[in-house]
Amino acid sequence: MNLISIFNKYPDQAACIRHLEAVRWGDNPTCPHCKSTSIARKADSGRVGRWNCHACKSSFNVLSGTVFQKTRIPLQKWFLAIGLIVNAKKSLSSCQLARDLQVSQPAAWYMQQRIRVAMVASERELLRGIVEMDETYLGSGPIKGYHGACDEGQHADATRRTIMSEHLF
């Protein structure tokens, strides 16, 4: 899927949330904390996609327990980042991603790490539902080390996937 399709298909936060709910839950929305299906949308919440669980009394959204949890970056930028990373022929630098998405370089680096971990971990289906992912890409490719600045000459390539998986999941 190309970036224009992603941009058009997911024009705003609400569209992204709707899509994630469909991919993650289908017709059976479930509390991520206690797995109960006795849940209801929060009617009067100003925030999009908020749910209440009647069983454990928690409040959650579809992002709970995923790579997108608690992010302040608009979901459309996440979706575009996934598209950019999947489409990239070579490893994409966080500096390039920062320029493409108009986010800070640390934010781009963070997104990149989360997306790469999700590609090899338990959230493949969620990402696959966002863009048509190349099966051969899953689980391949080195993860670039964080070097803190947009100096293309100082890349320290390192395979950190295992370590990060342990930290994030």
Q: Where along the sequence are the contacts to Zn ion (CB under 5 A)?
A: 31, 33-34, 36, 53, 55-56
| Cβ 123 to Zn ion shortest distance, Å | 20
CA-closest candidate to residue 88, choices 118, 133, 127, 128: 133
Judged by beta carbon, residue 39 or residue 127, the one nearer Zn ion is: 39
CA distance 48 to 146: 33
Residue 35 CB-density burial (10 A; 0-12 exposed, 13-18 middle, 19+ buried): exposed
| Cβ 23 to Zn ion shortest distance, Å | 20
| Cβ 60 to Zn ion shortest distance, Å | 8
| Cβ 25 to Zn ion shortest distance, Å | 13
Judged by beta carbon, residue 32 or residue 83, the one nearer Zn ion is: 32
Judged by beta carbon, residue 31 or residue 101, the one nearer Zn ion is: 31
Judged by beta carbon, residue 20 or residue 31, the one nearer Zn ion is: 31
| Cβ 36 to Zn ion shortest distance, Å | 5
Whether residue 98 contacts residue 107, with contact meaning beta carbons closer than 8 Å, is answered with: yes
CA distance 53 to 30: 9
Judged by beta carbon, residue 55 or residue 168, the one nearer Zn ion is: 55
User: For residue 5, what are the contacts with CB-CB under 8 A and spacing of at least 6?
Assistant: none
The sign of the CA dihedral 159, 117, 136, 99 is negative
